Amino acid sequence: MIEFEQLSLLRGGKTLLESADLRLHDGDHVALIGANGSGKSSLFALLRGKLEPDRGSVRIPKQWRIAHMAQEVSASDRPAVDYVIDGHTEFRQVETELATCRNDMRLAELHGQLDALNAYAIPSQAEQLLLGLGFKQSQLSTPVRDFSGGWRIRLNLAQALMRPSDLLLLDEPTNHLDMDATLWLEQWLQAYSGTLMLISHDRDFIDATCNQVAHLSNHTLTHYRGNYSAFERQRAEKLAQQQSAFEKQQAEIAHMENFIRRFKAKATKARQAQSRIKALERMTEIAPAHVDSPFSFRFPVPEKMSDPLLTLSQAELGYDGKTILRNIKLSVHPGSRIGLLGANGAGKSTLLKTLGGVLPLLSGKRTQGEHLALGYFSQHQLETLDLDASPATQLQRLAPKAREQEILNFLGSFNIRGDMASGSCRFFSGGEKARLALAIIVWQKPNLLLLDEPTNHLDLEMCQALTVALQGFDGALIVVSHDRHLLRNTVDDLLLVNDGKAEAYDGDLDDYRRWILSRASEQSSNTAAQQEKPQDKKRARQDAAAERARLAPLRKQVKALEATMDKANQRLSELEEALADTALYEPANKAQLQTLLREQGDTRQALEAAEEEWLSAQEALEQAGS
């Protein structure tokens, strides 16, 4: 159990937490959420023993093993797979002692420890972690120094997952992952039996992996039962009671409803269109949870449009003479809203760079409309900022005639205010730089947006504001993102970039998820089959035990979901019985009726979610056991 009692934490004279109480039990999966700078990472440092509380106490069982994901990794010649295995410190310690031990009795003890650790399976486990996180088989022996910063962070993540732990601390683990790797990690964490504390801006990822939320706001820590969607509903109920919040909520809902009305005219064109409408309608319910967000911006209406805005014809895409995509035909029209799917390295960023004019075509033709106004947000956009100039100055350069107050008001909608707006941005955090880079793009009134992982470094509130703003954007949009909530609520069409092609994807994001997990399971089975060798009876028994241990979390998950479904079905029966009472429909009982109807809707929604999760878990169990 983890227990905070009247915990207060200060950093640099700034109060982060004041008199916080929290109790977490073994096996809880908790999302720690809050604005950038609210103290989430400091709380992780406290749990790791790197900080001491200023007042109060934090208690963690002494015997607990804690694993965390480091945010930096130095260059080394260590092969990737060995670097990941280094995360299993107990194995490495036994291995090191074994190499120099000359005492027969101690040697026997060490070999017994290796057997207890299932040491023979550790290299295979490390390889599976790397493959699941998007590394290729040919990269497993590549030195760490040869990987870019983002891929080194993936190595840190794999090392943290490799370490046996009772408490796992992950700080923005999906920041440098594509959707395929994110889905794999999601499944891995669902089966993790220890206590998980997670910082993430990816709400779908939190919904799938966490059953509780700890919200850091105004120096307080509030505990909510349920995933992020449940947190939004519970918080919305509190905030909707405030009049100022209510007024802003109504304006937000009106904006969303207007967007839904415009979109419904095209609702029959694909299954993802229908699912998107449902998601948009759901967003009107959760809007109150974000009424106190410091972000509220809109994309200006583009001044002019061309049709088409941009076209690729018979295009061959790549760089340094290396072809990545062939025979690409793509026409972008006003109102086009396209999400790009595909594994890392398949060519999604290459396609965006080519559309943005950053990469020249290897062959074919790129034609842009007369009135094309391009806004391109790349994964390296933060590097293009002038760190010595103020945010206001950088916007003034783009529009010399703009009034100072107009610029400051605009920056304020991105929560860049006061000294932040008028001073140097050299010491901005990653999230603050990302907001400024996005503000610069919005300021230029684009009619075509190319967004490559725009939510990296943004917190949940800014991700929500970006989603709402993109819904109202009148131009065309092409986006690459691992954030399924953003994609589900902003794009109409999906394009799968795979095997050198970019073709329309007929399914929705749920179909894509099932396809990715099925493919990953098949690859894992093939890899295991290739690595299998003749074993003696003792090794066979060890294999059988390891297999039971591997499947145990999935079986546990299936049983837990079955219990959840039984409980939900029982509650639905009780609610239906209560709603059958005719007296309930009298005016005097209106409030009770609304409460029961609301609970009925929430329970049905929870049942549907549990059933879908049960199907996925059952399928994963069958595939894992086959």
Rounded to whole angstroms, the Cα distance separating 588 from 460 reads 41
Q: For residue 485, give the CATH number of its domain.
A: 3.40.50.300
- 446 and 362 housed in the same domain: yes
- 504 and 604 housed in the same domain: no
Give residue 269's pLDDT band: very low, low, confident or very high (50, 70, 90). very low
**Helices 590-625 and 509-531, axial angle in degrees (round to 10):** 30
Backbone angles phi, psi at 55, to 5 degrees: -145, 160
Q: Among residues of the chain, what percentage have pLDDT more than 90? A: 34
| Domain membership flag for residue 237 | no
Among 184, 199, 231, give the residue marking a domain's end: 231
In a 10 Å sphere around its CB, with 0-12 CB exposed, 13-18 middle and 19+ buried, how is residue 97 labelled? middle
- 61 and 181 housed in the same domain: yes
Assess whether pLDDT exceeds 80 at residue 284: no
Q: Are 80 and 142 in contact (CB under 8 A)?
A: yes
Q: Among residues of the chain, what percentage have pLDDT more than 70? A: 85
- 315 and 424 housed in the same domain: yes
- Per-chain mean pLDDT for the chain: 83
| Domain membership flag for residue 239 | no
- 265 and 215 housed in the same domain: no
Q: Does residue 308 have a cis peptide bond before it, meaning omega lies within 30 degrees of 0?
A: yes
- The range of the structural domain enclosing residue 279 comes to 248-290
Assess whether pLDDT exceeds 70 at residue 200: yes
Name the helix (H) or strand (E) containing 506: none
Q: How do residues 374-400 score in pLDDT, each as one tens digit?
A: 999 987 777 788 888 999 999 999 999
532's tokens: 């299998």
Give residue 262's pLDDT band: very low, low, confident or very high (50, 70, 90). low
Name the DSSP letter for residue 399. Answer: -
Strand partners, 30: 197, 212
Secondary structure (DSSP) of 117-183: TTGGGHHHHHHHHHHHTT--GGGTTSBGGGS-HHHHHHHHHHHHHHS--SEEEEESTTTT--HHHHH
Among 497, 514, 531, give the residue marking a domain's end: 514
- 177 and 253 housed in the same domain: no
Mean pLDDT of the region 51-55: 88
Q: How do residues 16-38 score in pLDDT, each as one tens digit?
A: 888 889 899 899 999 999 887 78
| Domain membership flag for residue 529 | no
- 193 and 73 housed in the same domain: yes
What is the pLDDT, as a whole number, of residue 343? 85
Assess whether pLDDT exceeds 60 at residue 531: no
Rounded to whole angstroms, the Cα distance separating 551 from 521 reads 13
- 106 and 150 housed in the same domain: yes
Rounded to whole angstroms, the Cα distance separating 525 from 579 reads 50
Name the DSSP letter for residue 606. Answer: H
Q: How do residues 160-170 score in pLDDT, each as one tens digit?
A: 999 999 999 99
The DSSP bridge pattern shows strands 476-480 and 29-34 to be unpaired
Domain count, the chain: 4
Give residue 268's pLDDT band: very low, low, confident or very high (50, 70, 90). very low
Residue carrying the six token digits 């069958």: 622
- 395 and 330 housed in the same domain: yes
| Domain membership flag for residue 542 | no
Q: For residue 565, give the CATH number of its domain.
A: 1.10.287
What is the pLDDT, as a whole number, of residue 471? 86
Mean pLDDT of the region 596-606: 85
Mean pLDDT of the region 564-577: 82
Backbone angles phi, psi at 542, to 5 degrees: -65, -40
Cα separations in angstroms, 186 against 66, 109, 189, 531: 20, 37, 5, 25
Name the helix (H) or strand (E) containing 270: none
| Domain membership flag for residue 276 | yes
What is the pLDDT, as a whole number, of residue 547? 60
| Domain membership flag for residue 447 | yes
Q: How do residues 290-335 score in pLDDT, each as one tens digit?
A: 555 677 788 888 888 888 999 999 999 998 888 999 999 999 999 8
- 208 and 319 housed in the same domain: no
| Domain membership flag for residue 487 | yes
- 36 and 156 housed in the same domain: yes
- 256 and 328 housed in the same domain: no
| Domain membership flag for residue 356 | yes
Assess whether pLDDT exceeds 50 at residue 551: yes
Greatest pairwise CA separation for the chain in angstroms = 87
